[in-house]
Copies of this chain bind each other. A is one copy, B any other.
Amino acid sequence: MARQTVSHEDGAIYEFTPDLEAITTIDPGTDLTIETRDSLDGAVQDESDVIESVPEEVNAATGPIAIEGATPGDVLRVEIEEIRLAEAQGRVITIDGFGLLDRHEDIDAPRTRMTPVEDGTIAFADLEVPVDPVIGTIGVAPDSESYTTLVPHDHGGNLDTTDVTAGNVIYFPVFQDGAMLAMGDCKAAMADGEMCGTGSEIATEIDATVEVIDAPAIDLERPLVETPDSWKTIASAETLQAACELANRDAIDLLRAEHGFDATDAYMASSLVGGLEISQVVDPLVTVRNAVPKAYLSDPF
């Protein structure tokens, strides 16, 4: 089967809605290359290009891609094989009214810093940071509400989670026929937290393979990511505390299904291994993971 390329020029969305229309339909197992533009649609090309306020349209997600045979109740399995940078520089920006420290008086916004790519690193002033790309926005058509690509929720969206990277697999609940996968908003590098509101925003080409899990053994409510060592639940909410509760509840459900624990024993087990991790603290809803090492969890599907 030939590799199929889907470009942001073929179609991109700024909102995940329940009634998305696909720009293409693929069979499960297709070798996909997804081309994404940077989260700011190319508006920032040097340090004099500053962004005064959060744009109405941001984080363009290439797609939607319908997956043949995906129906509500299934799980979509997205294996991320490789993420290649598609331009010679990324950009880190501050925007007034956005970011962890946006009300602090010594923090200047708007500001832009360009981060040139060279020999597997990006440069930020005298820092040489290894390229370690992250897909910031990735998701499927939601159940009933709509979410702009600035917002993370149970359908995915603007998760800004460093584990959404090459070598890992991300799983989504399927809410609509065809699932309607879309992704974009990649970073050449990003810290857990994404404190200033961006990583090094950059255009990419993503190699991925998508499969449909029919009749999954667990009822997946939110995204789940598989790394070489761990399964990590991902939850977004208005506060970090609320996101921690959701992520922990989901980890508890996985531990219960595997070990036959009641909720309390699973909760106690979750307090011993792996643990809570911060994805991002800046988007309209914030995002947290609960990692459980694979030593204690097998494939839940």
B127 A271 Cβ-Cβ under 8 A: no
Of the candidates B190, B239, B271, B290, the one whose C-beta lies within 8 Å of that of A198 is B271
Q: A240-B240, A278-B244 are in contact. Are A200 and B259 (CB under 8 A)?
A: no
Taken residue by residue from 182 to 210, chain A's Cβ proximity to chain B (1 for < 8 Å, 0 otherwise) reads as: 00000001111111111110000000000
Chain A, range 92-117, C-beta contacts under 8 Å to B:
92, 94, 99-101, 104, 106-109, 111, 113, 115
Whether a CB of chain B sits under 8 angstroms from the CB of A296 is yes
A101 B190 Cβ-Cβ under 8 A: no
Whether a CB of chain B sits under 8 angstroms from the CB of A56 is no
Copy count, this protein chain: 2
Q: How far is the CB of A187 from chain B (nearest CB, A)?
A: 9
B277 A192 Cβ-Cβ under 8 A: yes
Q: A191-B273, A240-B240, A248-B100 are in contact. Are A92 and B268 (CB under 8 A)?
A: yes
Instruction: Name which residue of chain B comes closest to A187, CB basis.
Output: B272
Whether a CB of chain B sits under 8 angstroms from the CB of A54 is no
B107 A273 Cβ-Cβ under 8 A: no
A272 B94 Cβ-Cβ under 8 A: no
Of the candidates B192, B198, B241, B268, the one whose C-beta lies within 8 Å of that of A113 is B268
Whether a CB of chain B sits under 8 angstroms from the CB of A14 is no
Whether a CB of chain B sits under 8 angstroms from the CB of A215 is no
List of B residues within 8 angstroms of A261 by Cβ = 125
Whether a CB of chain B sits under 8 angstroms from the CB of A78 is no
User: Can you offer 27 A-B residue contacts whose CB atoms are under 8 A?
Assistant: A92-B271, A99-B267, A101-B267, A106-B263, A107-B267, A108-B262, A109-B264, A111-B264, A125-B261, A125-B265, A127-B269, A129-B272, A162-B275, A190-B275, A191-B272, A191-B273, A193-B276, A195-B276, A197-B271, A199-B271, A200-B272, A240-B240, A240-B244, A276-B278, A276-B281, A277-B278, A278-B278
Hey, which bits of chain A sit against chain B, CB under 8 A?
92, 94, 99-101, 104, 106-109, 111, 113, 115, 122, 124-127, 129, 162, 189-200, 239-241, 244-245, 248-249, 259, 261-265, 267-278, 281, 286, 288, 290, 296
Known A106-B263, A125-B269; 20 more pairs at CB < 8 Å: A92-B268, A100-B241, A100-B248, A104-B249, A107-B263, A111-B264, A113-B268, A115-B272, A190-B272, A190-B275, A193-B290, A195-B270, A196-B270, A196-B271, A199-B272, A239-B240, A240-B241, A240-B244, A244-B278, A275-B278
